[in-house]
Structure 1
Amino acid sequence: MYDGETRSIALAAIGAGESLNSISKRLGVSRATLRDWRDRPARTPYPNDCPVCANGKLPPAPYAHLLGLYLGDGCLSKHRRDVYALRIACDDAYPRLIDEAASAVADVHPARPVHRVQAVGYTAVLSYWKHWPCLFPQHGPGPKHRRKIELAPWQQQIVATHPELFLRGLFNSDGCRITNWTTRTVRGEVKRYEYPRYMFSNESPDIMHLCQQSLNQLSIPWRMPAPTPSP
């Protein structure tokens, strides 16, 4: 697959009368691909175009979900030819959440297949693309909790528009749901009440703050656990 910039350069050269053989040698693009671009120029936007540095389209709702998954339990790793692998670690105990993560990746980048790689106790949802760092500028050396995590303005706008999906990604990757219970005396009879409790745990204070901001936007009450006393 070629990025949108390469395609644009090739089309401009074709329009200027340069031969396909010359363009192929200069850009490293096969002549068959160049003929396809020449004969079907109206096929835009190109599905592999980056929505940040080119003219690709970014679906905001799936991206909000995927951003939460990435910040919770995702990472990028560089491979050959500047291709990056996006990995989302998903617990094998929740196959539906694995399906959701794979769907979010496919919706954000439909031009390439989404792989599921089995590991010990978890499944890695995996996708390769040169432009994953464009979509996740929070990528950097070392663990996320050891560096500053801030959202770019365009990311802030997406999260503000879809806070519920951003939270879904965070809680699905680095959260859990438990059942709490309490008792109450009603008309002389002790009754037991059960209710769900959601917990989100992340070592990055910046990611915790992003979670809290979205909870506040949705008017969802939250609190931090009391610190554990020193022995």
Structure 2
Amino acid sequence: MGYQYLINITTQHSARTSTSKLRMNLSAKRTSSSSSVVRFQLSSTNSLIIQIGDISKWFIDGSTDAIVNPANKGMVEDKDVTPKTKIVCAQAIHNAAGLDLLRACKNVPEVLPGVRCPTGEAFITPGFMLPASHVIHTVGPIYNVDSNPAASLASAYRNSLRIAKENNIQYIAFPAISCGVHGYPYDEAATVAISTVKEFQYDFKEVHFVLFASDICDIWLNKSDELLKD
């Protein structure tokens, strides 16, 4: 079960962002809702939506929505990452949210020296200056270091979804956790991500994956076609 850390501070909202155009190849459960997103029906009440874009600009209503931040264990800026990873994931989220988000993360108590969020766990904070109302912070596994990366990655998704449900989040957006500098193979990561989201098919209105490149987006689309068949 993920840890919870919620600070009651008013959030600010901004305009929606447009996303890049996706290659469409529709199936029975897969429908295009616009030129930039693909929707899969998880259940009668919940959709899985996949798109290319900047997750720091994503939001639905500014009150029941949350984005997931792929944090490190200290929940502070990681200097040892590639520029691309910093731009599209954690650093973009922190840049858009403002310094209050960093302060909130630093206020999470350490459970071990330098560790506020162990691998697979999750915390929630306000979104501050982000358009989404909340940020859920989780730590994914380093693929070649973790002894059971699939279990750890599933825990990161599962605990993020659990804490979202506990806080009445109806719309949640994920990046591809651990697929950047942590080296998780895209196909394997997509299998874990989509399979874990299926466990919560009646608990949300929409689960989004906001992905940073067309190659990873194509893998997520194809894996969703495979795993969400009737």
Q: What is the TM-score normalised by the length of structure 1?
A: 0.32
Structure with the larger RCO, 1 or 2 (CA within 8 Å, 6+ apart) = 2
- Greater C-alpha radius of gyration: 1
